[in-house]
A and B are shown apart, each in its own frame.
Chain A
Amino acid sequence: MGIELKKFDTRLQAEGPEVRHLDPAAAPFYLPIGDEVEIFTAAYKARLPVLLKGPTGCGKTRFVEHMAHQLSSLPDGPNELITVACHEDLTGSDLVGRFLIQADETVWVDGPLTQAVRRGAICYLDEVVEARKDTTVLIHPLSDHRRILPIEKRGETIEAHNGFLLVISYNPGYQSIQKNLKHSTRQRFVTIEFTYPPADKEVEIIAHEAGVEQDIALQLAVLGEKVRHLKASGLEEGVSTRLLIYAGELIQQGIAPRRAATVAVTWSLTDEADSKRAIDEVVKAIFP
């Protein structure tokens, strides 16, 4: 096709995709909460795009990584995982690619989405609503039966590689109302909803990830559960499993539990004086 791929473009590296080469043996730890593994596998086999919905730090990205590695063992499984963290200035060109001037020539550089489509990767667009509206134009033909990606600037339309799958994520909690996912977009996806794991699973996850004793993991999970109650009284987001794991890791490094919980949970969650004090009182109540 005469495509010249320049590998050392600094700009693309700065904001570019994160490519993971897959190996089922290297799949990161993921503890299934419900039937999400089965659903995702089925969706992949049917090549149905997937929307992962849930609050921050509840395991969406980890889940995609885990699944991509697992599915790569299928004969027609994905070849890579390409993750793009979407932000407000992310345009269609950032995803599809653009012409760049390099020395004396103008070269086309594939964007992450194009790379995924060509190479049969799972393309994970994290927090997709953050991206500019023109990106949805690209997503639509890829996420229905057509599975094509039109590249307007090159006058080219590429058909997706058999291994390709589009996965997007979205956090309904903290996005402003203006940034809701449009129905024309969301109704193209199979949706898997994530919440914070139930207490017993969360204990297991914290214990595994942070390497702490069951007892500490339990206390951290209780702290998580209690702090999440505060969401009704003004906290924007409940404490993520990720933060609880951080606290666990600090404890594992020898930081006193109360202190670890304060720096990893209380201060990360809120700046509001009353909430901070209240969360700290809960920390003191839970950790002796």
Chain B
Amino acid sequence: MPEIAEKAQDLFEIKGVLTKFMRMLFPLEFRIDSLANSGPILPFHYPLLPGEMIYLPERLEPFGTRGDAYIYYFATTAHLAARHDFGTFKLKLADIAGFEERGETGVEAIDSFVASFDDPGLAGALMRLAESARIDAELARRYRGLAPRIAGLNRSLLDRLHPESLSTMLVRAALDLEPAGEGPDSPLVWMAARHFAPVRERGADVMTSVRQVSSLYNWLQELIREARERGEGDPLSEEEAERMRNDLIKGMKGSETQTAGEGDEGEDGDGGGEPDQNVKMDVSGKQSKGGKGRALSPEELRKLIEQGAELKPSQGEGSAEGDGMYLTQLTGKQLSELEQMREQLGEVGSVTGQGRLMIGHGRQDSYYAYDEWDYVLNEYRRNWCRLREIPLVGDEGDFFENTLVRYAEMLPGVRRNFQRIRPASYRMVRGLEDGEEIDIDRTIEARVARLMGETPDGRFYKARKKEARDVATLFLLDMSASTDEPVHREPRKPTDDDDTDDWMKAWQRRPQTANRPRRIIDVNKEALVIMAQALEEIGDSYAIMGFSGHGRDNVEFYVIKEFDQELTDEVKARVGAVEPKRSTRMGAAIRHVREKFKDVSSRAKHMILLSDGFPQDFDYGHDRRSNAYGIQDTMVALKELELAGVLPFCITVDKTGHDYLRQMCQSSRYLVIEDIASLPRQLPKIYEQVIRW
């Protein structure tokens, strides 16, 4: 294709495009992951396994005609996704003659069918080939623009296989590509093509493939038998027939590309005919029903494709031979993982309910599942986090009252300030060329001007402009363990940005508590107390919530005040009861904030996040030492929030906050507070400046 320059193509560059492309063509939840050290793989080399993961080579060097590397990704993705859409995994074993009593469906049915042949390896290869032919043909019919691309690509890829090998001939016949040249094999290709023709026809389904596999298999076995009987001297000698069989089976390993000069190492990709010594996996239906066995996990599948393993059904002969690895051997390690997954996906009722007992409110906690952004995958991890709303049991209300006393001198100033910014709900705008009403004064002036022979000013309408303050703000408090740190306040030195208003003096004269050092959380709480007082004055709707947690299953969300709650004694008591808990999984908490705003009808919506460090949790990302995952997830969560119409603002008391906040949000949307203890004084000012309405 002329529009693409001929250069190596990296998967990560086009992964986003590919994912969207695939989701448009096939509305299924697929995900794309990369295979290291792999050249282009013909679609029929991919095992017939369902699953949401599609594995593609990490990087492709240019091959074939111009742009083939780029096209390869789209065509292969379409092919693999189309298997689901075109019914490959809808096979019912009971539909096949001779299997009427069997209940297997989908991939288990395919396995059992393939396993019923004397040579399951050959039958499996034929099944994949037939399905591949069927899907290519159907794709070409439905997407006419894709047809030439698929054909061109298949041709390029086939050129990389041994041109003289019989298996290549067979693939050529299956995919309806004209043979390279006239040769003694041509009648064979012609015969094979006749066998494959029905699967390429309109209306063919997986049952057509099943039927053609049976006839192809018999035909090939017959050829091999005949060759054996006739002995040497025949072009289709026994050796030749055996080689074809082995070639075919080997074909699925995707390692034949090696001969084309790829750096594929460690594989037995010499194209010869020795029996398979690769990893074998047991994927039989019998095992699955036994309870221990199960479908392959994405990781295992990837391993399989990477190693070029043969998926061999255990019911076939010789499945127990060789030093193969069995799925049952793999399961031990991942069993706990599976349990964890089931727990996460399962119902609330299946979760151990210790948390509920501790709360003792006699009511069920509500759980929420949230996606999490994985920047490595460039994809959301669906329903990755489980968040629980936990009602806080309040203290005696002392903290709130004590704070009010402590800041008694500062509060009137704050209140006054907030009263000032409360506007009238409508403002009359005069002097308009167009408006709701006539402005009598101006009309008279215009009339006078006119009578005096002057040009009147035509702007004699007025209109009411809405100026109502309609704001809802949610304060989200980081309740991580690190907020337990005491605030080390150095003796105050006057600085440039110190203003000398009443608040400041009040602050310096504030009574000091002696009994225990004030912690970051205490200062945050004080700031919220002052804020709540100020907001009651201005009448803005506000909510106060906190979050912490431990692990993705256990994100805790504490509701201190909902939007529709009044500032009651109970709410005041809950503010006092806020204490440091555990980790900081910000993404899920922010996504829950978005939920909280769903029923809020205010015109302007804001979230103010008070934190003391970067997002972190023990399983927040692939590498515990790196905070990149958490930062990226938080960044995406903040963007989602903004898309939902809520403007976020982040305040941190972490002096190194610039480093990561810069990545998470625009510089105008965050603030690093150097002097932690000044937060209660600063928060109302920040609010005034930040909140737009």
- A11 near B: Cβ within 8 Å? yes
* CB contact between B438 and one of A101, A178, A180, A288 (< 8 Å): that residue: A101
Q: Kindly provide the distance from the CB of A254 to the nearest chain B CB, expressed in whole angstroms.
A: 19
CB neighbours of A288 from chain B (8 A): 144-145, 147-148
Note all chain B residues with C-beta closer than 8 A to A99: 437-438
In the docked arrangement, what's the CA distance between A288 and B139, Å?
Answer: 13
Point out the residue from B148, B437, B601 that lies within 8 Å of A180, measured CB to CB.
B601
A230 partner, pick from B24, B147, B466, beta carbons under 8 A: B24
> What distance in Å separates the Cβ of B431 from its nearest Cβ neighbour in chain A?
14
Chain B nearest Cβ from A229, distance in angstroms: 4
**B466 / chain A contacts, CB cutoff of 8 Å:** 132
Alpha-carbon gap, A180 to B645, bound state (A): 13
Instruction: Specify which of A93, A98, A226, A233 is in contact with B25 (CB 8 Å cutoff).
Output: A226
**Minimum CB–CB distance for A184 against chain B, Å:** 13
B601 with A278: CB separation less than 8 A: no
Given B27, B143, B597, B598, which contacts A285 in the complex, CB threshold below 8 Å?
B143
A residues 29-69 near B (Cβ < 8 Å) are none
The reply to whether B601 and A229 contact each other, CB–CB distance below 8 Å, is no
Residues of chain A at the chain B interface (Cβ within 8 Å): 11, 91-93, 98-99, 101, 106, 132, 153, 176-178, 180, 219, 222, 226-227, 229-230, 232-234, 258, 274-275, 277-279, 281-288
Given contacts A274-B16, A278-B19, 7 further A-B contacts (CB under 8 A): A177-B644, A227-B24, A232-B23, A279-B24, A282-B21, A286-B144, A288-B144
Tell me, rounded to whole Å, the shortest Cβ–Cβ distance linking A146 to chain B.
24
A200 CB, nearest partner CB in chain B, Å: 16
Select A282's contact among B24, B148, B437, beta carbons within 8 Å. Answer: B24
User: What's the minimum C-beta distance from A34 to chain B, rounded to whole angstroms?
Assistant: 23
Contact between B460 and A101 (Cβ–Cβ < 8 Å)?
yes
CB distance from B466 to the nearest CB of A (A): 8
When the two chains form their complex, are residues B25 and A91 in contact, meaning their CB atoms are under 8 A apart?
no
B603 at the A/B interface (Cβ < 8 Å)?
Answer: yes
Q: What are 16 A-to-B residue pairs whose CB atoms are below 8 Å?
A: A91-B463, A93-B437, A176-B645, A177-B601, A177-B645, A178-B601, A178-B645, A180-B601, A230-B24, A258-B145, A274-B20, A275-B20, A278-B21, A279-B20, A282-B25, A285-B78
Among A132, A227, A284, the one with the most B-chain Cβ atoms within 10 Å of its Cβ is A284
Contacts of B17 in A (CB 8 A): 274, 277-278, 281
List of A residues within 8 angstroms of B645 by Cβ:
176-178
What 7 A-B pairs have minimum CB-CB distances, sorted nearest first? A278-B20, A274-B16, A285-B143, A288-B144, A229-B27, A285-B146, A93-B436
Cβ-based interface call for B602 (8 A): yes
Point out the residues of chain A lying under 8 angstroms from B337, CB to CB.
none
A38 to B150 alpha-carbon distance, docked (Å): 48
Q: Nearest Cβ distance between residue B3 and chain A, in whole angstroms?
A: 9
Nearest B residue to A226 by beta-carbon distance?
B24
A281 and chain B: residue at smallest CB distance: B21
Determine the chain A residues whose CB is within 8 A of the CB of B463 once the complex forms.
Answer: 91
Which B residues between 147 and 183 are near A, CB-CB below 8 angstroms?
Answer: 147-149
Cβ distance A217 to chain B, nearest Cβ, rounded Å? 14
Is B482 in contact with chain A by the CB < 8 A criterion? no
- Counting chain B residues whose Cβ lies within 8 A of the other chain, the interface size class is 35 or more
* B300 close to A (CB within 8 Å): no
Q: Complex Cα distance A222/B146, Å?
A: 14
- Tell me whether A98 and B145 are in contact (CB under 8 A): no
B533 interfacial by beta-carbon distance below 8 Å = no
> B331 near A: Cβ within 8 Å?
no
Segment 18-51 of B: residues with Cβ below 8 Å from A: 18-21, 23-27
A113 to B148 Cα, complex, angstroms? 57
| A186 smallest CB distance to B (angstroms) | 14
With a CB–CB cut-off of 8 A, which chain B residues contact A279?
20, 24
**B74 at interface, CB cutoff 8 A:** yes
* A285 B25 Cβ-Cβ under 8 A: yes
Q: Could you give, for residues 600-617 of chain B, a 1 whenever the CB lies within 8 Å of some chain A CB and a 0 otherwise?
A: 111100000000000000
Residues of chain A within 8 A of B597, CB atoms compared: 177
> What residues of chain A lie closer than 8 Å to B23, measured between beta carbons?
229-230, 232-233
Q: B214 on the interface (CB 8 Å rule)?
A: no
Measured between alpha carbons, how far is A92 from B464 in the docked complex, in Å? 12
Cα A91 to Cα B463 in complex, Å, equals 10
- Nearest residue, chain A, Cβ from B143: A285
The reply on B226 being an interface residue by CB < 8 A is no
A91 to B434, CA, bound (A): 12
Quote the shortest CB–CB distance from B300 to chain A (angstroms): 27
Q: Which residues of A contact B148 (CB under 8 A)?
A: 288
Q: Which residue from chain A places its CB closest to the CB of B604 in the assembled complex?
A: A178
Kindly supply a per-residue 1/0 record for chain B positions 129-150, scoring 1 wherever the CB is within 8 Å of any chain A CB and 0 otherwise. 0000000000000111111110
At the interface, yes or no: B554 with Cβ under 8 Å from chain A?
A: no
B208 interfacial contact with A, CB 8 Å: no
B278 beta carbon closer than 8 Å to chain A:
no
How far apart are the CA atoms of A227 and B446 in the complex, in Å? Answer: 57
Instruction: Give the distance in Å from the alpha carbon of A282 to the alpha carbon of B19 in the complex.
Output: 12
B344: CB under 8 A from chain A?
Answer: no
Q: Is B307 an interface residue (CB 8 A)?
A: no
Chain B residues with CB under 8 A of A234: 20
Looking at A11, A258, A285, the one whose CB has the most chain B CB atoms below 10 A away is A285
* B403 contacts the other chain (CB 8 A): no
Contacts of A101 in B (CB 8 A): 438, 443, 446, 460
Q: Mark contacts of B641-658 with chain A using CB atoms, 8 A cut-off: 1 yes-contact digit, 0 otherwise.
A: 000110000000000000
In angstroms, Cα B438 to Cα A90, docked, is 17
Question: In this complex, what residue of A is CB-closest to B463?
Answer: A91
Cβ-closest chain B residue relative to A132? B466
Within 8 A of A (CB), among B581-639: 597-598, 600-603
Measured CB to CB, the closest approach of chain B to A73, in angstroms, equals 39
Q: Are A98 and B24 in contact (CB under 8 A)?
A: no
Q: Please, which residues of chain A bring their CB within 8 A of the CB of B434? A: 11
Question: In the complex, A65 Cα to B85 Cα: how many Å?
Answer: 40
Chain B residues 423 to 477 lying within 8 A of chain A, measured CB to CB, are: 434, 436-438, 443, 446, 460, 463, 466
- Please tell me if the beta carbons of B143 and A177 are within 8 angstroms of each other in the complex: no
- Expressed in whole angstroms, the Cα–Cα distance for A222 and B644 within the complex equals 31
